[in-house]
Structures are given as structure tokens and as C-alpha cells.
Structure 1
Amino acid sequence: MSTIQNEKCKGKHFTWSKPMSHMLFEILVEEALKGNKPSSTFRAESFVKVATEISQKFNIQCEPKHVDNHLKTVKKEWGIITKLKNKSGFGWDDCLKMITVSKDVYDEEVKAHPNHDKYLNKKLDMYEAMTIVVGKDMTTGNYAKSYADVNLEENTEDTQKRQHRKRNRMYEDDGVEKLSKQIGDVALAIQSLSKNQLDVNALYAEVMKIEGFDEITLGEAFDHLVQNEMLAKAFMAKNANLRKIWVQNFVNQHYYRPAC
């Protein structure tokens, strides 16, 4: 790795690509499933694991503080999503994981908040993972502790006893078992999507057989899916009706863009 690239990665303007963000979510979902997110706090080791695996995968120098900073950004986005979902006149499509609005509501919201355009009438990327990684923090009013706030040298006997008692009380709570099952279901779904290899030929065949759209439109929808493998896998998992709805939403988003 060049010196210039090293310096760029070490700086406060560490850049996160979409594949890097996806890896962060996948790792932290697994960490939560393993019990490494007691209450609203990820353990320090989880930050280290994310930084290490991203560094190895993408040949860059990612540090735990970069993971911490990115999570803060994700929390802000989750706050906006939660606010919009609960706003009067805004709908929610749970199948597509999409905030739905009419043209008039869209125009009014984007005029007041131009950056909210990316949250409206579009599938929210990695929404299920976000509910596990930061969702619980926001709904309870608690935020995951910053990596910088975690004192790795705090190993006194009294501290260990307090942590042990907290863990015992947590696992005695009936709600924890239900939450663990929900986390497990989502984690398995994400892992399944990540491991299954995309069959491009099968994807093309399924897209092109959808009725009600011309060949050019379906071809562009196919190109869009191929460029986003996770989205393509999710498309293949849907039934025929949901696939048609997805294509219609794709057409609405890419062929109709209301003016701000």
C-alpha cells in the first residue's frame, strides 16, 4: 500500500464504500447474535474485528475509530428514517422496506429537506441489519458506547463482578430470548444472501418474463440488479407478484423524478 493511501486512511476523512458498509453490518449482526452487544453497547472487540476484516478484505488501513465514526453516521440516518416513518402522510411498505409517499408529499418534503430524497420511495439498503445494529439504540433513547469510551484496562475484580451481575439479570429477562431469536432470523437471512452465488442467467430469465413492461425497461431493471448483487438475490427470493411490484417501483424511481 502506498504512503499516500496510508495517510488518507489514517485521516479523519476515512471513506466508506457500499461494500465496506455491507461488511460492517454483516459482522456486527453476527457479533450481536453472539452476545457481543449486551444492552445497547457493542464490545470493544467487535470494533476491532470489523476494522481488521475490512482492512484485510479491501487492502486499506481501517481502525476501530473509523468503525465508531461510521456507526455514528448510521445512527443519524436511522434517526431520520424513524422520524420519516412516523410522520403524518408517510407510509411504510414492510415487504419492500420502503418509505412511501405521494407526489405532493414528496415534493413538499424534498423542498424542505433535499437530502431526504434518498429515503423516499426507495428500498432502504440493509434496513434489516440496521434494526439490529442501531435500531434498538434509537428506540430506547440509548446510543452504543463510543469505542473511545471503552476502557480496555478496566479489569478490577469489582468491575468484573458488576458486569457479571448485569449479564445475569439480562439473561433472566424473558424479552432477551425473543430478541435473540429475531436477531438470529435476520442474521441467517443475511448470511444466506451473502453466501448464495447469484445465477445471472436465471436472474435475466425471471426479470424478462415479468408481464406489463417493455423489453427495454426490463433490460434496464436487470442491469440495475446485476450491479447490486444483494438486491438481485433479494429479488430472486421474492414471489412473482412481489417481483412485479419491485419492477414497478424501479420504473417509478428511475423514469419519474419529481423536481425539488
Structure 2
Amino acid sequence: MSHMLLEILAEEALKGNKPSSTFRAESFVKVATEISQKFNVQCEPKHVDNHLKTVKKEWGIITKLKNKSGFGWDDCLKMITVSKDVYDEEVKAHPNHNKYLNKKLDMYEAMTIVVGKDMATGNYAKSYADVNLEENTEEQSISIENEGEYEETSKGKETSSSSTQKRQHRKRNRMYEDDGVEKLSKQIGDVALAIQSLSKNQLDVNALYAEVMKIEGFDEITLGEAFDHLVQNEMLAKAFMAKNANLRKIWVQNFVNQHYYRPVC
């Protein structure tokens, strides 16, 4: 469910439904509706909002760890890298941080789009209720502005000219805002489109099994565990299937290095 939530919200951001620090109300509704239909559960927008807060907390931890002294970052694998000594020290102080270290961070690209900008600026996303309240307030504000403009036009030519200039100024501001949204969409477009494209392709589990098991240099048990891991991470499995034979073998070797590493407690 978490993967689906991030995928949909990343697509919503690409469509311009996250113009500032929060998503539009309809984005929360869309996520809740699609999750309810796919998993046959009752999911409401407030549940999406609550889970998004959890994602934000995880992103905060990831960002903090990436910036800590002695911690590295592998951008190709999307993985925080540390030495054995640093790993032991960090996990001893924070046991729950072990899942972020020396392991590929699933859905990292989607998290970057959905919550990365908010966290980087310290501007946390508002709740679903806040979004509705802001939209209602905005509608009332627009209505009041329109009434004010109507009154101004009745005061004479000079006042009418001033009102026209104000409207033109507002239009220019809106044009600048729209241009900013468009530029932001282009910046995140490549990553979001890749996520969207992968999510539309249905995973062929039998084909995945065949491709994993024919990789040379690894025993059957190891390849079986690699296959199980890919099946549990559909987006990762699709990316694996898109690689050539050499890159697939490298991926399996990285999987072995990550998941067969046993730190000393």
C-alpha cells in the first residue's frame, strides 16, 4: 500500500497537483479511492494523510543520516553506505536505523518527489483538513475580490483604470506562478515518468524467475532468495527485468553483499 501511495502522489505532483508544500485535496481522495479498490479495504483521505506523515518522518531520518559525518551515499544504488564500525555504533544508539544502512532505499525517487522538497525547506505538508480549509478560504477570497472589482468599476474612469491595472498585475503574478510550477514539473519529470511507466507494466513472475535462476556464479538457494526479494518489491523487479545480463549479475552480487552481511551485535 505504501508503494502505491507514493507512486500515485508522485504522479499527482507531476500533474501540478502539488503547487507548493502540500497536495491538493483531490490527490488525497484519488489515493484513498485507488487503494480501497485494489486492496478491498476502506481507505479514507485522512488515512492517506496519516501515512504521509510517517513517510515524512522516515525521510527526515534518511536526510539526517546522509548528512552525518562518516556516512556515504551511493546515488546509483540509492543506498547510505557506512563502514562496519560506524554501522555498529549507529545501530547500537538507534536500533531502528539498521534498515536505512547499507541497503537500497526502496521508493527513494518517489519519496524525493513526494516529500523531499518539503523537508529540504523545513516546510512540512499540511493535513487533509488544512487543505480543504485553505481551498474554501481561497474561494471566498476570490468571491470577495470579484465583488470589490464590481464596486470599483462604478466609481468612474480613474478608479476603473486603477482596478484594471490591479487585475493585470494579478494576472501577471498568476502567470509567473504557473511558469514556476511548469519548471518544477520539468525538473521532476524524468523520475516521475519513469516511475509511472514502470507501474503500468505488469510483472511477469514466471519470466522473472527464469531470468534470475539462469544467472551464473551463484547457488540455487541464493538465487531463490534474490527472486523472493524481487517479487516482494515489484518496482525493483521491473527495473531488474529491464537490465541486461551483465547488470543483472551485478545486481545479484550487490544483493548478496547487502543481505548476507551480518554485523556483530
- Secondary structure in structure 2 of the residue aligned to 1:78: helix
Of 169, 192, 195, the residue aligned with 1:164 is: 169
| 1:234 to partner: Cα distance | 1.4
Unaligned runs of 5+ in 1: 1-19
Specify whether residues 39 and 62 from structure 1 end up closer, same or farther in structure 2 by C-alpha distance, changes over 3 A only.
same
| 1:205 to partner: Cα distance | 3.9
C-alpha distance after superposition, 1:227-250 (max 9, x if no partner): 332221111223444433322232
Deviates more, 1:69-78 or 1:164-173: 164-173
C-alpha distance after superposition, 1:94-120 (max 9, x if no partner): 111111111111111101100001101
Check whether the contact 2:6–2:114 (CA below 8 A) recurs between aligned residues. Answer: yes
Q: 2 CA distance for matches of 1:194 and 1:58? A: 16
Q: Which has the larger radius of gyration?
A: 2
Specify whether residues 160 and 249 from structure 1 end up closer, same or farther in structure 2 by C-alpha distance, changes over 3 A only.
farther
Check whether the contact 2:16–2:181 (CA below 8 A) recurs between aligned residues. Answer: no
- Secondary structure in structure 1 of the residue aligned to 2:165: helix
| 1:123 to partner: Cα distance | 1.1
> Percent identity of the aligned residues?
96
Check whether the contact 1:170–1:176 (CA below 8 A) recurs between aligned residues. Answer: no
Q: 2 CA distance for matches of 1:197 and 1:253? A: 27
Task: State TM-score, norm by structure 1.
Answer: 0.80
- Secondary structure in structure 2 of the residue aligned to 1:216: helix
- Secondary structure in structure 2 of the residue aligned to 1:150: helix
Q: 2 CA distance for matches of 1:190 and 1:231? A: 11
C-alpha distance after superposition, 1:41-86 (max 9, x if no partner): 2111211221122222222221111111111111110010011111
Check whether the contact 1:203–1:222 (CA below 8 A) recurs between aligned residues. Answer: yes
2:261 alignment partner in structure 1: 256
| 1:133 to partner: Cα distance | 0.4
Specify whether residues 69 and 161 from structure 1 end up closer, same or farther in structure 2 by C-alpha distance, changes over 3 A only.
farther
Specify whether residues 153 and 124 from structure 1 end up closer, same or farther in structure 2 by C-alpha distance, changes over 3 A only.
closer
| 1:209 to partner: Cα distance | 4.1
2:222 alignment partner in structure 1: 217
Deviates more, 1:54-63 or 1:239-248: 239-248
Specify whether residues 179 and 255 from structure 1 end up closer, same or farther in structure 2 by C-alpha distance, changes over 3 A only.
same
Q: 2 CA distance for matches of 1:79 and 1:57? A: 29
Q: 2 CA distance for matches of 1:250 and 1:112? A: 26
C-alpha distance after superposition, 1:126-176 (max 9, x if no partner): 111000100000111111111122244855999999999599457458765
Q: 2 CA distance for matches of 1:180 and 1:138? A: 18
Specify whether residues 153 and 183 from structure 1 end up closer, same or farther in structure 2 by C-alpha distance, changes over 3 A only.
closer
Check whether the contact 1:25–1:130 (CA below 8 A) recurs between aligned residues. Answer: yes
Q: 1 CA distance for matches of 2:190 and 2:59? A: 21
Specify whether residues 209 and 166 from structure 1 end up closer, same or farther in structure 2 by C-alpha distance, changes over 3 A only.
farther
1:95 alignment partner in structure 2: 76
Deviates more, 1:163-172 or 1:60-69: 163-172
Q: 2 CA distance for matches of 1:100 and 1:235? A: 21
- Secondary structure in structure 2 of the residue aligned to 1:71: helix
Q: 2 CA distance for matches of 1:168 and 1:64? A: 31
- Secondary structure in structure 2 of the residue aligned to 1:144: coil
Q: 1 CA distance for matches of 2:23 and 2:163? A: 21
Specify whether residues 206 and 45 from structure 1 end up closer, same or farther in structure 2 by C-alpha distance, changes over 3 A only.
same
Q: 2 CA distance for matches of 1:71 and 1:157? A: 45
2:27 alignment partner in structure 1: 46
Specify whether residues 197 and 134 from structure 1 end up closer, same or farther in structure 2 by C-alpha distance, changes over 3 A only.
same
Specify whether residues 198 and 154 from structure 1 end up closer, same or farther in structure 2 by C-alpha distance, changes over 3 A only.
closer
- Secondary structure in structure 2 of the residue aligned to 1:173: helix
| Structure 1 or 2: more helix by fraction | 2
Q: 2 CA distance for matches of 1:183 and 1:193? A: 16
Q: 2 CA distance for matches of 1:218 and 1:125? A: 20
- Secondary structure in structure 2 of the residue aligned to 1:197: coil
Specify whether residues 105 and 172 from structure 1 end up closer, same or farther in structure 2 by C-alpha distance, changes over 3 A only.
same
Task: State TM-score, norm by structure 2.
Answer: 0.79
Deviates more, 1:189-198 or 1:174-183: 174-183
Deviates more, 1:167-176 or 1:213-222: 167-176
Q: Does 1:175 align with 2:180?
A: yes
